[in-house]
Amino acid sequence: MCHTRADCIESSQAFATLSFLVNPNEIRYRATLLRLGRNCAEMEFVRVKQVINIKGAISVAEVPEPACGAGEVKIAVTHSLISSGTETYTIAQTGQNLLARAKDRPDLVKKVWDRVKTQGVSAAISAVQEKVNEPKPMGYSAAGIVVEVGNEVTRFAPGDRVACGGSSASHAEIACVPENLVVRAPDSVEPQHACFATLGAIALQGARRAQIELGDNVVVLGLGLVGQLAIQFAKAAGARVLGFDLAQDRADLTKELGADEAHASGAVNSLERVLEFTGGVGADAVIVAAATKSSQPVNDAIAMARMRGRISILGIVGLELEYHAFYAKELDVFMSRSYGPGRYDVNYEGRGLDYPISHVRWTENRNMGAVLRMIADGRLDVAPLISEVVPIGDAERAYAQLQSGETRPLGIVLEYPTPTKRKVPPPSAPTAPRRGARNVTRIAVIGCGGFAKKERLPYLHKMPGFEIGMLISRSGPKVKQLAEHYGVVNYGTEYEEALNRSDIDLVLIATPNSLHAPIALAAAKSGKDVIVEKPMAVNRRELDDLYAALQQHPVRFACAFNRRFAPASIGLKQFADACAGPKSVVYRCNAGLLPPGHFMHPPEEGGGLVVGEACHFYDYCAWLIGSVAVNVASASVSYEGQQFVGTDNISSVVRFADGSTATVIYTTMGNAKLPKERVEMYAGGACAVVDDYTSLQFYGASGKAWNGAQDKGHRAMLSAIVDAFRADSDLPIGLDASYTSHVLTFAALESARTGAVVSL
């Protein structure tokens, strides 16, 4: 779901009415609150089988069943298709050593080097190892039966036969797939054929990009699954088709499926055959469906194409083109991006925004639907492409066959039995808050994304006074691996599992921002103490609702404003407290640019960058000055382009009751070479400067300077929370302080929007 007309699609006017027919903020908030009404004791928490890849090794693991989110369709998968080309390539890539990966991906090497410079060698090595060892679900083309639909889903209901695509349509017994990546399967299409919808859409998009016309001469290079499908689409478009592959058996199959000619590349002179086939003119279009690092297939395509012909690339191939041949023929080269328009567009795939058919005729969803209709009509034959149907339990053997040096199967379909509920031990009933001093606090971490893995779990695991009692994350394979790594017995994908356990004292909420307030509210009702990552809420109404509810429930609460606990902050606060009279603080954050569509931008998901991150800095200034904020005046950047979001660039001046002022400058328009954060305090003829939490310097004051590795206070904050539990005291940065800082943040945004000074 989009948040501005400009973000919706290239033609903003056409999509504006779609974007604002409803208030997405209201829908998502109400949907989450409705979900909280489920009776946790009646829920079934189960394990499902899923194919995963860890460093090139394939296994079938039992993982928690995925949770069905808003805009998603939960599908009991009956069949899924192994994409022999793409998945074999993926296994080879993930099985490479680090040196080989570095050679293939210099862009990733730069990211690692940047992390070394800012966070040190140890942090960079840990991040690389974590990424390398991360389990990767395999598969992206499946079919099955709908068993549940999430809020906001309008086109499907339980019992529907469907096909689905995308990374969430993996080889697993249960898949939760965004609605725009699901299509209804005609009753006449067998389920083992319906699972070809996604691969078929890839081939169909490649054929569309080739702009095939009636009577064209078309050459297809590479006769794997996608190539075989592309051959049939070219024939359906009225073309004469010639195919080439290294394997004779695949060439023979292509002729059975309707190609006018097909040959094994080594058995004939390919260029001569193309010239004979086209009367010496060359191919009108060449579709490259090979999978190789070599640039030879593309250069062969250049040689085979006619003057001003077309080349459509839909395989993973090298692109070192022979310039003179390419130039002399004035060729058009088209990259075919996966299933069609909508692919990799977070608004289309993740937020459910469709493209009007009058502007975009063939989206990835419509391509998938077209493939299934052609199968139903008998114009696309996928049955001969199936080499074997394999039970999910034998997936490891199937992948081994694909990687063998012998004759490899063309298409392998994985088959799934009727789902059976493999229950985990039932959760215990919720209890009232357990107050009193305690030496060990059992914590459940809800949300195990990159931030929690980097800044929370390593510290919680080693810190005396904490015991990780449960991990919750949307990805079953990843949460299973994390639990095994940290020795955590209990893990799952539904946060209700944690809230319903009597042996959990505290929950740490590190989910996407839009879920912070609803889950914190549910946790409080379950009698759990709460730490929530910033922000507490993504809008003022949610904030007030949560604040009122937490006042009614006797649980301890803290928002994780960790920068207060940084070593540099401690010395700066001492300087501030020692200075009599008003102070002037300047907090500048060179935030860095997030890509369009990032979850932090939409108000209903991330709250926008000011709410999602700059709340840190309004809180920090108020804490540092130690007085009550009176009013705030803000201005945001006016910007109509696509690179930046104007409202993510804000300057605010906050006035405090003691006469102090704080200036917060938050921008995404800077350069990464400039350190991210800088705090300057001026008071009583002296000043102090914190530079990116790596140093503290004083000018005209006798404070103790500090220099060290970047430390934003993550470990120290958790240690302070442990101390609070041991002393049976309120948590640091409790409810009132957290609420006040968020009120200031929302007031700063309101001032930027209205141009008025907003009183607090």
Quick one: which of 649, 574, 662, 675 has its CA closest to 617? 662
Quick one: which of 183, 162, 142, 178 has its CA closest to 70? 178
Instruction: Give me 211's structure tokens.
Output: 């702009």
Where is mean pLDDT largest: 134-138, 304-308, 337-341?
304-308
Question: Please, which residues bridge with residue 389 across strands?
Answer: 413
| Host H or E run for residue 318 | none
Alpha-carbon distance values, 192 to 177, 356, 363 (Å): 19, 31, 23
Orientation angle between helical segments 540-552 and 516-525, nearest 10 degrees: 10
Task: Decide: 535 and 611 in contact? Cβ < 8 Å.
Answer: yes
First and final C-alpha spacing in the chain:
32
Chain center to CA of 406: 37
Classify residue 659 as left (phi > 0), alpha (psi -120 to 50) or beta. Answer: left
Structure pTM?
A: 0.82
- Strands 136-137 and 491-492, by their bridges, are unpaired
Query: Using CA of residue 439, residue 440, residue 445, residue 451, what is the dihedral sign?
Result: positive
- What is residue 12's predicted lDDT score, i.e. its pLDDT? 30
Instruction: Give me 729's structure tokens.
Output: 């005291």
* Cα–Cα distance measured from residue 526 to residue 537, given in angstroms and rounded to the nearest whole number: 19
Where is mean pLDDT largest: 20-24, 423-427, 654-658?
654-658
Please state, as a whole number, how many other Cβ atoms lie within 10 Å of the Cβ of residue 297: 21
- What is residue 100's predicted lDDT score, i.e. its pLDDT? 60
* Cα–Cα distance measured from residue 195 to residue 226, given in angstroms and rounded to the nearest whole number: 14
Please state, as a whole number, how many other Cβ atoms lie within 10 Å of the Cβ of residue 12: 14
- What is residue 702's predicted lDDT score, i.e. its pLDDT? 83
**Which pLDDT tens digit goes with each residue over 504-560?**
999 999 999 999 999 999 999 999 999 999 999 999 999 999 999 999 998 999 999
Q: What letter would DSSP give residue 131?
A: H
- What is residue 21's predicted lDDT score, i.e. its pLDDT? 31
Question: 449 by DSSP, 3-state: which?
Answer: coil
The residue that leads in pLDDT, 354 or 131, is 354
Question: Please, which residues bridge with residue 634 across strands?
Answer: 652
Instruction: Give me 85's structure tokens.
Output: 């080309």
Instruction: Look up tokens 């459940």; give the residue.
Output: 444
**Residue 149 predicted with pLDDT over 90:** yes
Greatest pairwise CA separation for the chain in angstroms: 93
Instruction: Give me 268's structure tokens.
Output: 């004939």
Question: Please, which residues bridge with residue 161 across strands?
Answer: 145
- What is residue 522's predicted lDDT score, i.e. its pLDDT? 94
Helices (H) and strands (E) in the chain, counts: 28, 32
Q: Which domains does the chain have, with CATH numbers?
A: 1-35 (no CATH), 47-196+344-415 (3.90.180.10), 205-335 (3.40.50.720), 441-555 (3.40.50.720), 563-759 (3.30.360.10)
Please state, as a whole number, how many other Cβ atoms lie within 10 Å of the Cβ of residue 490: 20
Task: Decide: 382 and 226 in contact? Cβ < 8 Å.
Answer: no
